[in-house]
Structure 1
Amino acid sequence: MSNSQPQAGQGSPFDFFTPELSPPEDHTQSKPNFDNAYICANISELCYLSSVNAKHMNIGYEEAVRSTLYSWGCSYEDVQKTIFIDSQDIEDIPDDSENIDDNKKKYIADTQGLIIFHKNTVIIGFRGSEKKVGDWAINLKIHSRILDYTDRQDGRENLLSVISSKEQRVHRGFLRAFKALLVNQDYHDWVMKQLGAAENVWLTGHSLGGAIAILAANYLLEQVEPKINVSGVYTFGAPRVGNSHYRDHINDKFKSQYWRFMNDNDPVPDIPFPELIYRYSREGCMLRLNNINGNYDILRRIDQEGKRIRLGRYNGKPNSVNDHNLGGAGSYCERLFSLASQAQPMTFKHLKEKGNKRQIKGITPEISVFQTIDSLLKQGVSDETIAQALKVDLKIVKKARNSDFPYSD
């Protein structure tokens, strides 16, 4: 690929992704890489079944995701490496309820995501809740647990000991959602092997997926041997995850590598509430997106010693649930698009305008299929392999090879 900027419909948005960011010379002036943020937000959206008009984690969803990645210009070899994360059942940690006899129950963790490969970089995205934002306040359990990636059977804890504890504590539901991914040891070891071969690993997620992303990033740094090179964590509309001791630990580990993005008055980053017994506190650098004109406020930076530099406050509004959306008018993706300096002319925005990737089997057949075929042909992939990968008739591939594509930029 030439060094000149690709025109719309050519190349890959990932070509504008910076795998390893240099630490800022002055942490008091640090800011995120907005091209990376824009790409991470789109990957976070792709983790949702609704992003490709799917209803279940099945072969149809997997085919739609792969078709989307092809349309984004990803190589055939990298797309075939895509890992679809899907959790398994785990034993529930007993609730802090009075009737402990009813606590021996099965908890079905609903944790999904994607592991996307591009050259020597891996981007791991976690899906948030498919439910409406309004359900958060009802369904969110506020109890916390000591940060322990192994199974614990703690039983009920003395409330005074929780308040006075100096241990890292995280939201019980978020921890269980992540631990559900560790159940199958063989699968776990295989995934770690794939990640270990990458030069850089990024993690991202929206809403609940953002909470799981930072727990996973901490796990990769502390619990895996050899250590995985976590280069960045970008989350969108993520809730608070743990107490102040957990916050300080994460800030010391990641410093300016970890950015929390909040969109205008999105209410989800405000929960669980900090005034509750468990003293939830936001970790990481924080940035608030204000409007579609590229305005933003940096609310918090982390200095080279892992200390917080507070620059502003964030307060979401319960009636601003649309600000939590990843896609659509006034969403995270739209507002980050206006800040992305390089990736915007030829990436997700262009593809959506050509026919809305939510309808994919790509975009419209004339655009999506032929554009994807074109990308794979340029990579030297055989006609038969393309037809099999895209589930299209071989005649369509041969026609595409020998004719002009029926779209223009």
Structure 2
Amino acid sequence: MVIPVLLSGIVVALAQQNYDDKFARNITFPLSAAAYADDPQRCVERVFPGGEMVKHITVNCGWWSKCSGFVANISSENAIALSFRGTKGKLQLVDIFGKTLSTKRIRWSVNNQYLGQVGRYFHDAFHAIWKEGMEKHVQELLQNCPKCKIWVTGHSLGGSMASIAASYLAWSGLANDHEIRLVTFGQPKTGDTNFGSTLTDK
């Protein structure tokens, strides 16, 4: 299945690493596209032979829509990947616009550290996926591989969830922020300038 995705990557390496086009195109872009698949395992294996999709999560995140993401163990690269699916269908787009226009941004803080304001739909969608099993599996993978690299990616709505996920991983202390790399594609404005700064200042 070929999925057209706007390849204008936004890259934030929380360890202040430089942009790497090869990494964006050959690693995070395929992982981001895999989030749209019914079976991300097949996509993960094509790019990373032996890569294992640990958990694929789909949750209700609006009146007419579902949000999705997965965790993969890329042992050949000593990495854990988190990928979030973007907007799927017109009804979800209506959901996102409706919630964004009708509600204020929500205060985003981790461990009592204020990280800025983020859109409520993006916040709620991330938390629904995180609490439905992503958190548990990320914790287990990090216990087995505390020095693993963590790749976080997504397209569109998935990019917004990915940026919130990366900030959570870094500021919660769950992961070493020097190992986190965030690359998003076609990400809408997710939060205010304070939130944007937290991604580059950590």
Q: Which has the higher strand share?
A: 2
* Counterpart Cα distance in 1 of 2:81 and 2:32: 10
Cα pair 2:57 2:134 within 8 Å, conserved: no
Cα pair 1:202 1:232 within 8 Å, conserved: yes
Identify the residue that residue 234 of structure 1 maps to in structure 2.
183
Identify the residue that residue 4 of structure 2 maps to in structure 1.
none
Give runs of aligned pairs for residues 8-407 of structure 1, distance below 5 A: 30=18, 32-38=19-25, 39-49=27-37, 61-62=38-39, 65-75=40-50, 78-79=51-52, 81-87=53-59, 110-119=66-75, 120-132=78-90, 135=93, 138-139=97-98, 141-142=100-101, 143-148=104-109, 168-184=116-132, 188-196=135-143, 197=145, 199-225=148-174, 227=176, 230-253=179-202
Q: CA deviation at 1:187?
A: 6.5
Q: CA deviation at 1:145?
A: 0.8
- TM-score, length-normalised on structure 2? 0.72
Cα pair 1:210 1:237 within 8 Å, conserved: yes
Cα pair 1:109 1:177 within 8 Å, conserved: no
Cα pair 1:174 1:241 within 8 Å, conserved: yes
CA RMSD of aligned residues (A): 3.5
3-state DSSP of counterpart to 1:71: helix
- TM-score, length-normalised on structure 1? 0.38
Amino acid at match of 2:180: S
Change (3 A) 1:123 1:222: same
* Counterpart Cα distance in 1 of 2:140 and 2:79: 14
* Counterpart Cα distance in 2 of 1:178 and 1:116: 17
Amino acid at match of 2:54: T
Identify the residue that residue 7 of structure 1 maps to in structure 2.
none
* Counterpart Cα distance in 1 of 2:115 and 2:14: 31
3-state DSSP of counterpart to 1:48: coil
Alignment deviations for residues 226-282 of structure 1 (CA, whole Å, 9 cap, x no partner): 6565431010000111112222222212xxxxxxxxxxxxxxxxxxxxxxxxxxxxx
Structure 1 gaps of 5+ residues are 1-19, 25-29, 50-60, 90-105, 151-165, 254-409
Cα pair 1:205 1:211 within 8 Å, conserved: yes
* Counterpart Cα distance in 2 of 1:187 and 1:69: 17
Q: Which has the higher helix share?
A: 2
Cα pair 1:220 1:230 within 8 Å, conserved: no
Q: CA deviation at 1:112?
A: 0.9
Amino acid at match of 1:126: F
Cα pair 2:155 2:187 within 8 Å, conserved: yes
Change (3 A) 1:149 1:131: farther
Q: CA deviation at 1:191?
A: 3.0
Change (3 A) 1:230 1:239: farther
Structure 2 gaps of 5+ residues are 1-12
Change (3 A) 1:187 1:240: closer
Amino acid at match of 2:140: K
Q: CA deviation at 1:43?
A: 1.3
* Counterpart Cα distance in 2 of 1:183 and 1:73: 27
* Counterpart Cα distance in 2 of 1:221 and 1:238: 20
Q: CA deviation at 1:138?
A: 4.5
| Sequence identity (%) | 22
Structure of higher RCO (CA pairs closer than 8 Å, 6+ residues apart): 2
Cα pair 2:150 2:179 within 8 Å, conserved: yes
Change (3 A) 1:205 1:148: same
Q: CA deviation at 1:44?
A: 0.9
Max Rg structure: 1
3-state DSSP of counterpart to 1:115: strand
3-state DSSP of counterpart to 1:177: helix
Change (3 A) 1:33 1:46: same
Amino acid at match of 2:186: G
- The alignment of Structure 1 onto Structure 2 pairs a total of residues equal to 180
